Structure 1
Amino acid sequence: MNPHFVQMPPPMVLSFAASDPSGGAGLQADLMTASALGCHALSVTTALTVQDSVGVASILAVDADWVEDQARTLLEDMPVAAFKIGLLGSAENMLIIAEILADYPLLPVVLDPVLASGRGDELADEEMIGTLREVLLPLTTILTPNSLEARRLADEAHDANDADGPLALDDCAQRLLSFGCQYVLLTGTHENTPRVVNSLYGRERGLLRSDVWDRLPGSYHGSGCTLASAIAAHLARGLPVSEAVQAAQEFTWHALAAGFRAGMGQHLPDRFFRTRVSSGGLVV
């Protein structure tokens, strides 16, 4: 090797999220996804959790000062190309992260609003949801809620049992955009449709694209984390928003399709599906 050759570092994605000991979601999902897509993953731990593939038993939020120190130390040392935000643990953490993001207005921010686990465990109270709307959405480049999260974040007053039904997703997207984020990617996994429809909306032009995917059997732990992290990784690598969203969906669908059941609960995505050896040889 040429001793004068300098290896350029890969793009760096900084994730603010809770630790998931199962490796299915949270920081672990973010680290694996960013790495699989050619980025170097940096992490700021916002909370510790007791959880497995079945559900979340308890959460311990990290003190906001510790969250700030973790992030500031990394940001002063390394050139971050994109931020990814997941479960934050407390309203105080949201406030301190908003202050940090405001110091880096040119970097893309992908926010996955983790409000509940796949089993339905509540992961955010009303104070946290209100703080997220007020201080984080105005700093967000792309918000990536599923339909349940979108309706809750939009603070819709409709009752799902009313004759009119739940708030239309188009209306949810417009309401969320009005809170200040630049784009909303609404995922349709929880909708009663034959295939999954994911729709990207922008503040200026409304609906920008809809992508349709075959609905996979079963349920998956960490699918939302994987999608949001993949978008952040592609943005860090320089793709424009629409292309990053499409490429991230494709990666996520294949990771889910190759998923495995490691425990007694949901399947886990295989973010390294490209490197697994199958009966036909190396998967590329």
Structure 2
Amino acid sequence: MLTFNANDPSGAGGLSADITAMSSASCHVLAVATGCYVRDTRTIHQHVALDDELIDDQARCVLEDITPLAIKVGFVGNADNLATVAGLLSDYAHIPVVCYLPDLTWLDEVERENYLDALAELVLPQTSVLVGNHHTLSRWLLPDWSDDRGPNAREIAAAAAEHGVPFTLATGFNTPDQHLESHLASPETLLASARFERFEATFSGAGDTLSAVLCALLASETDLQAACAEALGYLDQCLAAGFQPGMGHAVPNRLFWALDEDAPPDNEADPDDSTPPAQQLEGFPTPSRTH
């Protein structure tokens, strides 16, 4: 698995999400850093993009050694970096590509427009599946939409298809009974749908998590419809087990499957455990609490 994304020091999204989600699907992750967020769990304060030549060097060095089975394109920073990524994708045109579009309203307007123009022109024609929240995708792909009714999944997919994308996974459709729906669509048909209860918490990193595990499942040659259903189910469990590590938004627990629900509390010994207590090394600092 090859992924292009920015480092997120909060652990909510970016490469942190890609690595943990893809690893959960038993994939070895080739993580190419495209930049670095200056952010916490509440908001993005800044993003610094890496030089496009450095991104190219990272990717080509590892690609000369390892051939990936699928590629994810997350947020890569600027138009120059998108051009570099597009050049790499063209050299591996037989490999499926999942492109995720995050919310970019925090970005300077001119930079955002330049980025989206380059994404549409250079990367979407090489994209197998475009993933994003339906509001984000609609604002970008259908800027002149004037109907009071928002565009549905097929209409968003049709707009994406004009740029060469065969399939679109649009998330976050509201329903009257407080559920959220996600739809995999082509311009011609709705291929798969999933419906989950809405969580009260606001999450950071959900979209990166979904697109990463979808890409990992495609790498294992899972059928696209089945991969979408499994990826959406995985995300739902990540959110159900999510937690709030700081003072901002909640974060998906992408390693929920590793939790031992039968483990005794920290202050309660297991009577069947014959392991002798660990000895504290003199002078070695130990944490006063666990996370």
TM-score > 0.5 by shorter chain: yes
For residue 14 of structure 1, report the CA deviation from its aligned partner. 0.7
- Name the counterpart of 1:147: 134
Does residue 68 (structure 1) correspond to residue 51 (structure 2)? The answer is no
Q: What RMSD in Å do the two structures reach over aligned CA positions? A: 1.7
Cα distance in 2 between the residues matched to 1:227 and 1:164: 29
Quote the offset at 1:279 in angstroms: 4.9
Unaligned 5+ runs, structure 1? 1-12
What SS does structure 1 have at the residue aligned with 2:36? strand
1: CA distance between counterparts of 2:232 and 2:83? 30
1:138-217 correspondence runs (5 A): 138-158=125-145, 164-188=148-172, 191=174, 193=176, 194-203=178-187, 205-217=188-200
Give per-residue Cα distances to partners, 1:187-234, cap 9 Å, x unaligned: 025x3642111111125x421111111112211110000000000110
Structure number with greater Rg is 2
Q: Secondary structure at the match of 2:26?
A: coil
Amino acid corresponding to residue 17 of structure 1 in structure 2? N
Q: CA deviation at 1:171?
A: 1.8
Q: Is the 8 A contact 1:150 1:173 kept in 2?
A: no
- Distance (Å, rounded) in 2 between the aligned partners of 1:170 and 1:30: 27
Letter of the structure 1 residue corresponding to residue 116 of structure 2 = I
Unaligned runs of 5+ in 2: 265-291
**Number of equivalent positions:** 261
Where does residue 9 of structure 1 map in the other structure? none
Q: 1:253 aligned to 2:236?
A: yes
> Which amino acid in 2 is paired with 1:121?
W
Cα distance in 1 for partners of 2:251, 2:136 equals 21
Give the match's secondary structure for 1:144.
strand
Task: Give the whole-Å Cα distance in 2 for the aligned partners of 1:79 and 1:158.
Answer: 41
State whether structure 2 residue 246 is matched by structure 1 residue 263.
yes
In structure 1, how many angstroms separate the alpha carbons of the residues matched to 2:206 and 2:238?
Answer: 9
1:122 aligns with one of 107, 112, 126 = 107
Q: Deviations over 1:67-117 (max 9, x none)?
A: 11111111111121110111110000001101100111111101111233x
| Structure 2 counterpart of 1:113, from 89, 98, 101 | 101
